[in-house]
Every structure is written in structure tokens, then in C-alpha cells.
């Protein structure tokens, strides 16, 4: 085996194959042990690379395997709903995957060129974990970000789940990467026995801490439970924006809501009302009155159109509250190509995918207040917004209940909606708050403060979900401090590792070949 793995081509194949292990650790597979295994394999592979160029290739292959397996749902969106041919949809998906893999390539290059030290040193493992988190965070920020497939989500049902309330999903990712690197160090025969015992003790301490904090309540109820009704209309995506179908859709949501038992909170999904708010005022006034009569606060997704002073119009993806509540929220984190088209002067008109309905939204302003419903503060996240840890944290800290509405019809029967749900569960766990998730075609759920689903409607069913949520007060450590403690730790580790590595190399870095 050592002779086989000494061959460069076989190590490249292994790098390509170990990326999908992260995907298998996440929803819907949930094989959480594969996450630290993938980290260990990447750490070992990068230790074998002799030049930064080899590290770059190893990282890119790992990333390509990860995103090709984990974001295959992009093909469904482009082909099934963007009307692209199978060849064109496949090509665009490959370009998307190859581009995302560059983030992992950068990780591999930086590690080999600037940070890699002696493989027996604990500092080496800590630097690998720190760079792993920095790479994830950079991918979640650069060019509006793509914060998908973080390894930390694998622990939602694993022993480290409780660490989310301490430092968020990135703290869990840090621990997983550190665990993988330390396991590789422990597998070597040159590590002295005292150091081996110390590494084992460190891993046991971290993992036992995570396990011991399971079900630790960081927040408390601030009121009586509220009844909730979530309407899942299951509207076909190809009918969603058809002018001839708008009346039928409005009738459907009205009848499903009024025929269901009254609830304190009535939730409709993203763009459930497929009309701009200013053109649907009479219908909204009717629903406002009905909600008041039933003692309900109706929270619904609806497009919003604003006219600026110069006469220009801005379009927003929004949420509004009717009945026993108030407020309007305009989406801030937009989906590229789905809600806006980058370089639209060049791309619009090339293929139908770049002309999807409602793909000219503007970004809502920052600092928007929570919505008000039944006297409580509700933090709204529209679709993609719930996958941004720090963005979600800021609004959650000012709220009593979390709400995310979405339309995952774009992803068909792929694994995308299940990954999306898993990230929403993690946001509830990080915040220690109940979350209501309402979607057009599933999965609509209620999530408790520990990230557990308490009620759900399966995908592709037309139904109303009934349950209860409790407003919560207090702040988890993550809501209070955010990622700053982890940022400081990673910065110190990386700075020390960079300094010591340069010192060992005599102030020189290896030349890229």
C-alpha cells in the first residue's frame, strides 16, 4: 500500500475521491464520521506534496469532488427550469463546480507554501484546522459568497452538535479538521509516547465536552407557546409566474388558510403572493381583515416594488405581516442568476436561464428590524439567507422566534432542499430559538432550539402543518460573541505557524514549480 500511494496519479485520484466524503457526511446521508475522515485524508495528501503547485492541484481535486457531488442540484435548476439542453446544462454545472474548487485549491497552495511545518507538531494540526475555517469563511464571503457544504453541518446529529451554540458551525468545522489532522499524526510511528498521549487526551477532551453539553439550555422561554400553521401550496415551478395561474394560486392559499383551524402564526412561503404588493393591495386588505378576525398574524412572502425619487423602480423579494402583526422585510442576500444576473448587460438574452422570472431583484438595506407578530419579534430569512451563519446571527440576537421561507422547487427531487433544511436546523441550534420553515413544495418544518424537527410536511404534498413554537429570550455564547473568539484563535495560530515555518526554512519559502 505505501508503494501504491507513493504514485502521484494515485494520490490525485484519492484527492478527487475523498472530497465526496464531506457530501456523504451531510444531509440526506448523514454519515457524520466521514467528515473527520475527509479532513484526515486531505491533511495526509498535502503532507505528501513536495511543491505548492502540487498542493494546489490536490486541493482543487478535493474541491472538485466535493462540489461535483454536493452541488449536483445546480444541473436540475439549469436544465429543468432554465430550459438549457443537457449538454449546455452539464457544461455550465462543470464550470460552476470547477470554479468553486478553486477555493480548495487556494487552501492547498497556501498550506504547502507558507504554513506546513513538521508533521509531528501539534501546531501543524492547529494551523491546518485554522486554514480550513478561513477557507470556508472566505468562500462564504467572496463575490456575495457560497456558504454551502460546510463540514460542521455533519454534526447536527453527531457528538459535536452542542458546540454550535458556543461558536457556530465554523467552530465545529475547526474541531473536525483538527481531529483529522491529529489522527494522521497519531498514525505515524515517530511520534513520542508522551506526545501521543497528549494528543489523545486533547481529542477526548474536545469531543467529550461537545457530548456533555448536549441539550444544554442557553435560552429561556419568554412567553406561552404559540400555535403555528404553515401552508405548503406545492405550486409547480413552471406555473408559478404564469399570469393565467395567479388567481388560482391566490385562491388556493386563501382557501387552505381559512379552512384550517385558526393559529397564532400563519405562514406562507416565499413569493406565495406572485404579485407586487402595490398591485395586490385589495386582496391583501381582505386577508388582513380575515387574519384579524381569526386572531392570526399572517407572514407571507411577496415581491415588493419601490419607486425612487428619480422615477426609477427597484424590485425586492420581501416578507410582509398582515393581521395581528406588522412590518416588512426586504431580502439582503440574493441568489446569483436566480434573483439577479451578474454582468447582466452581457449575459441576459444568451440563454433562457439568464432570463428567469423575477431575476432582477435589488438588495434590501442592512440593519432592518425584526418583524412583529403577536407581540413578539420574528427574525425573517428568505431562502438563501439562512445559510449565512454570521448574517443570520445578527438578526437572531434581536429576535424571539426565527422564520425562514423558501421556494425550493428549483431543485426538484435533488439533495439540495435537504441540505438547505439541515442548514436551517443549524441556525436554530446556534441561536437557541425555535424556527419556523415554510416552503412552497417542502420540506416545511418546525425546529426546536436544539435543531430538532418537531413537525414536518413531506416534500411535494399540498398540506397545512400545525404545531407550536415558544418565543425565547437570552443569548447563546455564539449569539453574544459571534465568531470573534474563533477568528482570534485562527489568526494567532496562522501567524505563529507562518513565522515558525519561515524560521525553520531560513526565511525562505519553497519556489513554485
Residue-wise pLDDT for 467-491, tens only, equals: 999 999 999 999 999 999 999 999 9
Sign of CA dihedral 57, 61, 66, 68: positive
Rounded Cα distance between 401 and 391, Å, is 16
Place of cell 496519479: 9
**Bridge partners (DSSP) listed for residue 468:** 227
Mean pLDDT of 176-183: 97
- Residue 441: DSSP 8-state: S
The fraction of the chain above a pLDDT of 90, given in percent, is 78
Q: Is the pTM of this model over 0.75?
A: yes
Chain position carrying cell 441540505: 419
Q: Looking at 18, 39, 383, 490, which residue is catalytic?
A: 383
Q: What is the mean pLDDT of residues 101-122?
A: 92
CA 279 to chain centre: 33
In the structure, what pLDDT confidence band is assigned to residue 328 with cuts at 50, 70 and 90?
A: very high
Catalytic residue among 331, 339, 430, 490: 331
SS3 per-residue string spanning 255-270? HHHHHCCCCCEEECCC
Report pLDDT digits (tens) over 430-465.
Answer: 999 999 999 999 899 999 999 999 999 999 999 999
- Angle, helices 34-48 vs 8-25, to 10°: value is 160
Per-residue cell: 487: 477568528
Catalytic-residue membership of 331:
yes
| Mean pLDDT of all residues in 25-42 | 97
Question: How many Å separate Cα 351 from the centre of its chain?
Answer: 28
Q: Would you put residue 412 in left (φ > 0), alpha (ψ -120 to 50) or beta?
A: left
Contacts of 202 (CB under 8 A, 6+ apart): 122, 182
How many Å apart are CA 279 and CA 198, to the nearest integer?
67
What is the Cα–Cα distance from 81 to 241, expressed in whole angstroms?
Answer: 12
Q: Give me the count of residues in the chain.
A: 513
Q: Is 373 left (phi over 0), alpha (psi -120 to 50) or beta?
A: beta
Between CA 285 and CA 290, with CA 286 as vertex, the angle to 5 degrees is: 115
- Among candidates 81, 143, 100, 144, which has minimal Cα distance to 351? 81
- Which band of pLDDT confidence, cut at 50, 70 and 90, is reported for residue 310? confident
- What kind and span of H or E run contains 472? strand 472-473
Q: Of 18, 39, 240, 270, which residue is the catalytic one? A: 270
State the Cα–Cα distance between residues 19 and 58, nearest whole angstrom: 10
Range in 76-80, 369-373, 417-421 the model is least confident about = 76-80
Q: What pLDDT is recorded for position 504?
A: 73
Q: What is the pLDDT of residue 83?
A: 76
Helix 122-139 vs helix 34-48: angle between axes, to the nearest 10 degrees? Answer: 110
Q: What is the pLDDT of residues 219-258, one digit of tens each?
A: 999 999 999 999 999 999 888 888 999 999 999 999 999 9
Residue 79 contacts residue 86 (beta carbons within 8 Å): yes
CA distance 343 to 130: 34
Residue partners of 390: CB distance under 8 A and separation at least 6: 168, 482, 483
Query: How is residue 384 annotated by DSSP?
Result: G
Q: Going by C-beta distance under 8 Å and a sequence separation of 6 or more, which residues neighbour residue 513? A: 51, 52, 53
Unique residue bearing C-alpha cell 513554485: 512
Among 162-171, 183-192, 388-397, the least confident range:
183-192
Euclidean distance between CA atoms 267 and 219, whole angstroms: 24
pLDDT, mean over the chain? 91
pLDDT band (50, 70, 90) for residue 342:
low
Give the whole-angstrom CA distance, residue 107 versus residue 416. Answer: 25
How far apart are alpha carbons 419 and 465 in whole angstroms? 21
Question: Distance between CA atoms of 317 and 301, rounded to whole angstroms?
Answer: 8
Hey, what domains does the chain have and what are their CATH numbers? 2-217+480-504 (no CATH), 220-331+370-475 (3.60.110.10)
Separation CA 209–CA 199 (nearest Å): 15
- pLDDT confidence of residue 311: 76
374 conformational bin, left if phi > 0, alpha if psi -120 to 50, beta if neither: left
- Confidence check: pLDDT of 176 > 90: yes
Q: Are 438 and 486 in contact (CB under 8 A)?
A: no
What HEC string does 392-430 produce? HHHHHCCCCEEEEEECHHHHCCCCHHHHHHHHHHHHHHH
270 counts as catalytic: yes
Amino acid at each position: 500500500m505505501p508503494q501504491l500511494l507513493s504514485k502521484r496519479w494515485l494520490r490525485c485520484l484519492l484527492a478527487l475521491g475523498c472530497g465526496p466524503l464531506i457530501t456523504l457526511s451531510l444531509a440526506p446521508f448523514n454519515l457524520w464520521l466521514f467528515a473527520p475522515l475527509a479532513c484526515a485524508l486531505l491533511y495526509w495528501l498535502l503532507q505528501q506534496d513536495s511543491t505548492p503547485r502540487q498542493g494546489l492541484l490536490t486541493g482543487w481535486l478535493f474541491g472538485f469532488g466535493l462540489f461535483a457531488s454536493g452541488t449536483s442540484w445546480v444541473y436540475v435548476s439549469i436544465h429543468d427550469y432554465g430550459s438549457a439542453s443537457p449538454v449546455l446544462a452539464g457544461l455550465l454545472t462543470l464550470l460552476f463546480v470547477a470554479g468553486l474548487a478553486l477555493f480548495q485549491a487556494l487552501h492547498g497552495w497556501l498550506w504547502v507554501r507558507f504554513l506546513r511545518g513538521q508533521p509531528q507538531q501539534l501546531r501543524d494540526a492547529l494551523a491546518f484546522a485554522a486554514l480550513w475555517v478561513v477557507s470556508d469563511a472566505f468562500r462564504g464571503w467572496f463575490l456575495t459568497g457560497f456558504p454551502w457544504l460546510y463540514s460542521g453541518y455533519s454534526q447536527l446529529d453527531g457528538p459535536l452538535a452542542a458546540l454550535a451554540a458556543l461558536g457556530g458551525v465554523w467552530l465545529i468545522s475547526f474541531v473536525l479538521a483538527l481531529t483529522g489532522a491529529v489522527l494522521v499524526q497519531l498514525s505515524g510511528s515517530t511520534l513520542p509516547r508522551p506526545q501521543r498521549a497528549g494528543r489523545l487526551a486533547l481529542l477526548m477532551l474536545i469531543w467529550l465536552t461537545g457530548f456533555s453539553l448536549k441539550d444544554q439550555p442557553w435560552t429561556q422561554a419568554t412567553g406561552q407557546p404559540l400555535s403555528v400553521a404553515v401552508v405548503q401550496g406545492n405550486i409547480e415551478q413552471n406555473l408559478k409566474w404564469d399570469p393565467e395561474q395567479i388567481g388560482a394560486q391566490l385562491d388556493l392559499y386563501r382557501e387552505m388558510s381559512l379552512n384550517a383551524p385558526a393559529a397564532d402564526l400563519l405562514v406562507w412561503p416565499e413569493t406565495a403572493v406572485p404579485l407586487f404588493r402595490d398591485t395586490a393591495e385589495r386582496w391583501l386588505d381582505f386577508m388582513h381583515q380575515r387574519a384579524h378576525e381569526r386572531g392570526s398574524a399572517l407572514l407571507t412572502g411577496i415581491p415588493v416594488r419601490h419607486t425612487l425619487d428619480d422615477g426609477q423602480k427597484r424590485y425586492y423579494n420581501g416578507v410582509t405581516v398582515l393581521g395581528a402583526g406588522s412590518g416588512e422585510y426586504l431580502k439582503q442576500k440574493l441568489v446569483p442568476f436566480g434573483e439577479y444576473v451578474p454582468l447582466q448587460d452581457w449575459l441576459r438574452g444568451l440563454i433562457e436561464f439568464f432570463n428567469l422570472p423575477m431575476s432582477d431583484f435589488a438588495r434590501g438595506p442592512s440593519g432592518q428590524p425584526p418583524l412583529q407578530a403577536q407581540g413578539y419579534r420574528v427574525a425573517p430569512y428568505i431562502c438563501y439567507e439562512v445559510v449565512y451563519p454570521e448574517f443570520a446571527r445578527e438578526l437572531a440576537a434581536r429576535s424571539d422566534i426565527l422564520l425562514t421561507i423558501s421556494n425550493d422547487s428549483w431543485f426538484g427531487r435533488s439533495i439540495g432542499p435537504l441540505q438547505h433544511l439541515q442548514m436551517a436546523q443549524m441556525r436554530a441550534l446556534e441561536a437557541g430559538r425555535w424556527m419556523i420553515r415554510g416552503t412552497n413544495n417542502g420540506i416545511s418544518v418546525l425546529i426546536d432550539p436544539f435543531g430538532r424537527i418537531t413537525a414536518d410536511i413531506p416534500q411535494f404534498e399540498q398540506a397545512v402543518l400545525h404545531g407550536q413554537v415558544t418565543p425565547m429570550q437570552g443569548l447563546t455564547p455564539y449569539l453574544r460573541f459571534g465568531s470573534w473568539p474563533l477568528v482570534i484563535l485562527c489568526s494567532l495560530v496562522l501567524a505563529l505557524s507562518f513565522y515558525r515555518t519561515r524560521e525553520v526554512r531560513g526565511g525562505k519559502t519553497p519556489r513554485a514549480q
